[in-house]
Amino acid sequence: MSTSQQTALVTGANKGIGFEAARQLARQGFTVWLGARDEARGEAAVKELGVDGDVRFVGLDVTDEASVRAAAQRIEEETGLDVLVNNAGVAFADGDGRPGEVDLDVLQRTFDVNVHGALRVTQAFLPLIRRSAAGRIVNVSSTLGSLGVVTSPQNPFGQLASFAYPASKTALNAITGWLAVELRDTSVKVNSVCPGSNATDMNSAGAQPASEGAKVVVHAATLPADGPTGSFLDVNGVVPW
């Protein structure tokens, strides 16, 4: 069932950038499904956002097929879906190693959430998004995943002894590019965004509040019909792949 009101799902929205993106979308009038893997944390977040608009909790662990399927069925029955924000993400402790020595267990656990999880959710919700007049898929990536930046002479990440998280964001960007091509004859837009450096549980050294990073997420979620698809965007414009 679809309503005339625009509906968005944000995964991993009980805190951090996802929480702030959910808030900003609700304030714009979206019905927002706040996805969280933990019911208590999700319901607490929904309670906090109640003043901002119509925000509803949906249980969603992106690594759990049954959880994702159940969420898709419920959202299909109750509202339909226009916007999917693949925000849920993990970054395990720094120091998992450069490619020559990376801990493969850390690599796999990172990919389970950041890549397989995002693709699992995308596949489950794609039939709903295709039915929307203005479907938008936003993959919350990172400039760390940009091979263009990493292989440039000025690479700002040269000292980073961690491969798993950046590689997962490169793979997430591959989903963006390939899916945008798959959907190029539709009105659905698929983009990656980098929210910049935000002070969250994931990034204690973050430079700005998560509410700032959420703005580019919301920008990509609300692109007009002539907006870009298959792009990698940050607050300054286009990020190289």
- x/- mask, ligand NAP, residues 169-208, rule CB under 6 A, reads -------------------------xx-xx-xxxx--x--
Contact call for residues 227 and 218 (beta carbons, < 8 A): no
E strands present in the chain: 7-10, 31-36, 55-59, 83-86, 136-140, 189-193, 198-199, 208-209, 231-234, 237-238
Instruction: For residue 90, state whether it binds ligand NAP (rule: CB under 6 A).
Output: yes
Instruction: For residue 63, state whether it binds ligand NAP (rule: CB under 6 A).
Output: yes
E strands present in 100-234: 136-140, 189-193, 198-199, 208-209, 231-234
User: Closer to ligand NAP at the Cβ: 135 or 166?
Assistant: 166
- Token pair for 241: 């792949």
The rounded distance, in Å, linking the Cα atoms of 232 and 238 is 6
Q: Which of 164, 165, 196, 231 is catalytic?
A: 165
Contact call for residues 90 and 37 (beta carbons, < 8 A): no
Instruction: For residue 65, state whether it binds ligand NAP (rule: CB under 6 A).
Output: no
The rounded distance, in Å, linking the Cα atoms of 139 and 37 is 18
The rounded distance, in Å, linking the Cα atoms of 126 and 190 is 11
Per rule CB under 6 A, count of chain residues that contact ligand NAP:
32
Instruction: For residue 145, state whether it binds ligand NAP (rule: CB under 6 A).
Output: no
Does residue 165 carry a catalytic annotation?
Answer: yes
Torsion on CA atoms 102, 108, 109, 110, rounded to nearest 10: 70
Q: How far is the CB of 118 from ligand NAP (least distance, A)?
A: 8
User: Closer to ligand NAP at the Cβ: 108 or 186?
Assistant: 108
Instruction: For residue 142, state whether it binds ligand NAP (rule: CB under 6 A).
Output: yes
Instruction: Kindly identify the residues of this chain, within the stretch 95-114, that bind ligand NAP according to CB under 6 A.
Output: 113
User: Closer to ligand NAP at the Cβ: 129 or 194?
Assistant: 194
Binding residues for ligand NAP, rule: CB under 6 A, are 11-12, 14-18, 37-38, 41, 60-63, 87-90, 113, 117, 140, 142, 194-195, 197-198, 200-203, 206, 210
Task: Supply the residues annotated as catalytic.
Answer: 165
